[in-house]
Amino acid sequence: MALRLVHDATAPARDAVARLSLPGLSLGGTPILGPIDLTLGRGETVALTGPSGIGKSTLLRVLAGIETRHRGQVDRPARLAMVFQEPVLLPWRNLRDNLLIPLRISADKAEVALAEVGLGGRGDRFPGQLSLGQQRRIALARAFAGEPDLLLMDEPFVSLDAALADEMMSLFERLRAKRTVTTLLVTHAPEEARRLADRILLLEGNPARLAASQQTG
């Protein structure tokens, strides 16, 4: 799919679900992020790219409300989910409980969520009995089962072999097609960004700023 460079890095095509307006952010006395304005529109998938250490995860954490050492304005919806590089499951709880406990959903709903990611009927298993790919599927299932308005994903498909990464991206595409969710996806992989995102944002400079936006299609 062809890429087109546009100069308005922040304008969403649809109504806003989340907004971030920072004058900048310093951590431990070091400026990390410069002034940044970002608006995420309803239902869009936005990829956030840039070199290692530039501040992508930091920006994601600010948006999530995990990093609070900033000034400026952040508006986020109440229903928010995160997916990290590591699946972050409770190893001493079975798969069903890994969905039930954080999300407070019914056992029936947890079973539907497991089935959606190809793990139906396996709710009694423990994370340690699963492959890494299956654990990552559970992490995706959990994120979507909470029916978030905003989904923040920090390199969720990194360090998987090509076939597994493709399978995980297909799974994400299937889950995304079933509901309206706004997604901010941090990724190093241009092909992943092009495949999944409506807009591609680039973070660059020191301190980092949103330099440009590319749109697919």
Binding interface with ligand ATP (CB under 6 A): 27-28, 32, 50, 52-58
Spatial separation of the C-alpha atoms in residues 40 and 93, rounded to whole Å: 35
Spatial separation of the C-alpha atoms in residues 68 and 82, rounded to whole Å: 16
Answer whether 114's CB lies under 8 Å from 146's CB. no
Q: How far is the CB of 2 from ligand ATP (least distance, A)?
A: 26
Q: How far is the CB of 74 from ligand ATP (least distance, A)?
A: 16
Q: How far is the CB of 115 from ligand ATP (least distance, A)?
A: 33
Closest to ligand ATP by CB, 51 or 120: 51
Closest to ligand ATP by CB, 48 or 119: 48
Backbone angles phi, psi at 60, to 5 degrees: -65, -40
Closest to ligand ATP by CB, 54 or 202: 54
Closest to ligand ATP by CB, 11 or 27: 27
Closest to ligand ATP by CB, 98 or 209: 209
Answer whether 148's CB lies under 8 Å from 80's CB. yes
Spatial separation of the C-alpha atoms in residues 18 and 68, rounded to whole Å: 16
Closest to ligand ATP by CB, 46 or 110: 46
- Give the helix/strand (H/E) hosting 125: none
Q: How far is the CB of 200 from ligand ATP (least distance, A)?
A: 15
Q: How far is CA 190 from CA 3, 39, 68, 178, in A?
A: 11, 21, 29, 25
Sign of CA pseudo-dihedral 156, 168, 191, 82: negative
Q: How far is the CB of 65 from ligand ATP (least distance, A)?
A: 15
Answer whether 39's CB lies under 8 Å from 13's CB. no
Q: By C-alpha distance, which of 84, 86, 116, 89 is closest to 101?
A: 89
Q: How far is the CB of 23 from ligand ATP (least distance, A)?
A: 17
